[in-house]
Amino acid sequence: MNALPISNSGLAIAAGFIALAGGVSFALRLGVSKRLWIAALRTVVQLGLLGLVLEWVFDQRSVIVIVAVIASMVINAGIASVRRTERRYQGIWHSGLIAVTCSSVITAFVVIELVIRVDPWYEPRYIIPLLGMVLGNALTGLSLCLDRVMADLDDKRDQVEGRLALGATIWEACRPFISDGVRTGIIPIVNSMTVAGIVSLPGMMTGQILAGASPAQAVKYQIVVMFMIAGATSLGALLAGLMTFRRLVSADHQLAHHRLRKL
Amino acid sequence: MVLLRAKALAIPLLAGEDHTPMVGPVDLEVHAGEALTITGPSGSGKSTLLRCLAILEARAQGSLHFLDVQVASAAVPAFRRQVIYVAQTPPRFAGSVLESLQMAFGFASSTQAFSKERAAAMCEELLLPPDILGRSLARVSGGEAQRLGIVRALLLDPRVLLLDEPTSALDLDAEAAVHHMIETWFAKGDRATVSISHKRELLASVGTRRMHMLQGRLGEAA
């Protein structure tokens, strides 16, 4: 069974909702009409392009093409994870990219190979959406962690150095702040798992049910995806935190604060 | 006996930077039984020099010897327990005052045991309120935080104290109490202090050696 197709006239009716939102904004002078129209237009253009790209990608049978698509997704996620942060250090782009790659690619492949057992592994209908979901979530967690660790080592530098001054190793002095960073990074996925099915109906599950899957199967997929995201996010945040730590300290148990630059 | 010897200690000025206090090159020997006071205008690099002596400045060049042994990277934490830097505004660590006093005893370099009674007695001696140990460090006053910084350092019984304006936020009574506690510690022998002060000199009874800092250079005071 497949989902009922949506016709173009159906889409036009849905566009009426945007007109309604625009009308509300105009009537109450909310001043968001313009932004609303641009956002709606962006949704149409971006998703339309995505549809075209996915139609093309899903027809591909060449492992090289799929690997290239995966690589471009991963690189984009790595760049996005760093771009959202407020501070920079030399090598931060490497850190972001390595953390995203290791965490997302590893977990996605475990799911593809051992959980869902997709054959061949590069079957785009599975690997692309799964990787997309894990990347999207992992990059959020990772950039939250990255941002928090850098902010703490900057703003709470006196605490780090206060601990160092009393004989802490650089790891002992920084550890609380790395932990806080990783915790910050995994809060979103922990929250989603906590309220999954109670407050929110996870999007992927909803989609599968609409597409005709049995709720039991959809639930299993959703559980796998959430676990995968939790694993990738923790791993990514931890890697990002540790790499940031390594870049911002010296062998003499010092905080190399001057390597940190606020944008 | 030379406790601390710094050779060609310097922080180079990076291209394009003009606000960072440039320090050095500074050569300095701190002998056991010596109370060294550094004076000089603000911005002359006094605080940065103290931080260099505690190996806290990552950009510093030069070498540092403790008891005639050059301090190797791996030995830095143990060195810092012997040569403790006390910031003018001690950090507000998360948690209670007691936890902050106990903190250093949980580090890998620690060889001593924490005594809560001793910590409480030292707080009392510095005229801190009796309930201070249970309070959150974030909520103590500036003067209290400054005295707690001294207690944290002296609980570890170091050989050298590097004190950056240790009594700047204190009234005369509290200042006298801090001076007395440092004098008692100093009297154990083979101790030394390097301090920056604009106020009454520390260990005036011992007879302090004065040096003057000007634009990053250290010289004997006139």
Give the per-residue pLDDT at B161.
Answer: 97
> Which B positions 108-167 lie with beta carbon below 8 A of chain A?
108-110, 152-153, 156
Predicted confidence (pLDDT) at residue B49 exceeds the cutoff of 70 = yes
- Considering only CB atoms, A158 lies closest to which of B54, B91, B94, namely B91
A102 falls in which pLDDT band (50, 70, 90)?
very high
Give the per-residue pLDDT at A85.
Answer: 92
Q: How far is CA A183 from CA A144, A196, A248, in A?
A: 9, 19, 20
Q: Out of 3.40.50.150, 3.40.50.300, 3.40.1710.10, 3.40.190.10, select the CATH number for domain B2-220.
A: 3.40.50.300
Q: In angstroms, what separates the C-alpha of B222 from chain A's closest C-alpha?
A: 32
> Which DSSP symbol is given to B136?
B
What count of CB pairs under 8 Å joins A to B? 83
Q: Where are the domains of chain A?
A: 1-59, 62-262
Number of DSSP helices (H) and strands (E) in chain B, helices first = 6, 10
Give the per-residue pLDDT at A84.
Answer: 86
Q: In angstroms, what separates the C-alpha of B74 from chain A's closest C-alpha?
A: 7
Q: Which residues contact A243 (CB under 8 A, 6 or more apart)?
A: A91, A94, A95, A98, A99
Question: Taking residues B50-71, what's their average pLDDT?
Answer: 94
Give the per-residue pLDDT at B16.
Answer: 61
Residues of B in contact with A171 (CB under 8 A): none
The mean pLDDT of chain A is 92
Question: Taking residues A68-74, what's their average pLDDT?
Answer: 94
Instruction: Confirm or reject contact between B180 and chain A (CB < 8 A).
Output: no
Instruction: Confirm or reject contact between A153 and chain B (CB < 8 A).
Output: no
Q: What does the block give as tokens for B164?
A: 């950056």
Give the per-residue pLDDT at B222.
Answer: 61
Residues of A in contact with B92 (CB under 8 A): 159
Mind listing the pLDDT tens digit for each residue in A25-55? 888 888 888 888 898 999 999 999 999 998 9
Instruction: Confirm or reject contact between B179 and chain A (CB < 8 A).
Output: no
Question: Taking residues B207-221, what's their average pLDDT?
Answer: 82
Contact criterion met (CB < 8 Å) for A166 and B107? yes
Q: Which residues contact A183 (CB under 8 A, 6 or more apart)?
A: none
Asked whether the beta carbons of A181 and A237 are under 8 A apart, the reply is yes
Q: Which residues contact A96 (CB under 8 A, 6 or more apart)?
A: A78, A79, A81, A82, A142, A143, A146, A240
Closest CA to A138 of A185, A200, A179, A75: A185
Question: Taking residues B34-56, what's their average pLDDT?
Answer: 91
B214 falls in which pLDDT band (50, 70, 90)?
confident
Question: Taking residues B37-64, what's their average pLDDT?
Answer: 91
- Considering only CB atoms, B104 lies closest to which of A159, A166, A254, namely A166
Mind listing the pLDDT tens digit for each residue in A162-215? 999 999 999 999 999 999 999 999 999 999 899 888 877 788 888 888 888 899
Mind listing the pLDDT tens digit for each residue in A134-149? 999 999 999 999 999 9
Predicted confidence (pLDDT) at residue B19 exceeds the cutoff of 60 = no
Give the per-residue pLDDT at A204.
Answer: 84
Q: Where are the domains of chain B?
A: 2-220
Mind listing the pLDDT tens digit for each residue in B86-145? 999 999 999 999 999 999 999 999 989 999 999 999 999 999 999 999 999 999 999 999
